[in-house]
Amino acid sequence: MDNTNGNMYQKNTSKAFQIESTNDLLKIGLLLLLGFSALFLRERLKISLQLPGHHGFEFMLLFMAGKTLSRQRYAMTISSIGASASAFLPLFHFGSAFMPITLLLPGLIGDLILNKTGKHNYFFIAVAGGLAYASIPLSRQIIMVFTGIPFGSLLTGLLYPFALHFIFGALGSLAGAAITGKFAK
């Protein structure tokens, strides 16, 4: 629209927040829903494997699928925010008040690793997903040291839970990237 000089008005919007359309808002909403779904599956699939971190497979599968399909820079972080916010709902029965904090870390760390390096081959995605999900026992160990609140899987040591969280997180993120990689091209 022209002003009285005949010149166009100067654009006064900021590009600091990268949402440009309702399409982006829809993607963010779906990523938040993926986080909720990951937590819902974790709560409702009470498969008694007696292995720490075995829910990392479906958790990281959903997070990596969301990152691959949405192509948002911080897609895993957004999904982690959805999972973390969902942990406050009375629908879920977690025994730890620190669950929302520990649920934020996998998405944040996964995004940081993948965005910082820019490598997206399957091996690197598996390593990044494994390290991201292995942040859960590390954060629990830190919480246990500072608060004295015991976490059952960490009472015998950190190595076993860390290794299994890494393995299940790596397998889940590899599966998520492999399944959605066919659709994202």
Query: Going by C-beta distance under 8 Å and a sequence separation of 6 or more, which residues neighbour residue 81?
Result: 32, 35, 104, 107
Q: Among 13-17, 25-29, 102-106, 129-133, which stretch is predicted with the lowest mean pLDDT?
A: 13-17
Nearest to 41 by CA among 29, 31, 56: 56
pTM: 0.82
Per-residue model confidence as pLDDT tens digits over 34-70 = 999 999 888 887 777 788 889 999 999 999 999 988 8
Of the chain, the percentage scoring pLDDT greater than 90 comes to: 49
Per-residue model confidence as pLDDT tens digits over 167-185 = 999 999 999 999 987 665 5
Three-state DSSP class for residue 8? strand
Nearest to 98 by CA among 144, 131, 53: 144
Pair 36, 82: CB distance under 8 Å: yes
Pair 43, 92: CB distance under 8 Å: yes
Give the pLDDT confidence score for residue 60 in this predicted structure: 95
Per-residue model confidence as pLDDT tens digits over 108-133 = 999 999 999 877 788 899 999 999 99
118: left (phi over 0), alpha (psi -120 to 50) or beta: left
Give the pLDDT confidence score for residue 152 in this predicted structure: 80
Domain ranges of the chain: 22-184
Please provide the distance, in angstroms rounded to a whole number, between the alpha carbons at the two ends of the chain. Answer: 39
Pair 35, 84: CB distance under 8 Å: yes
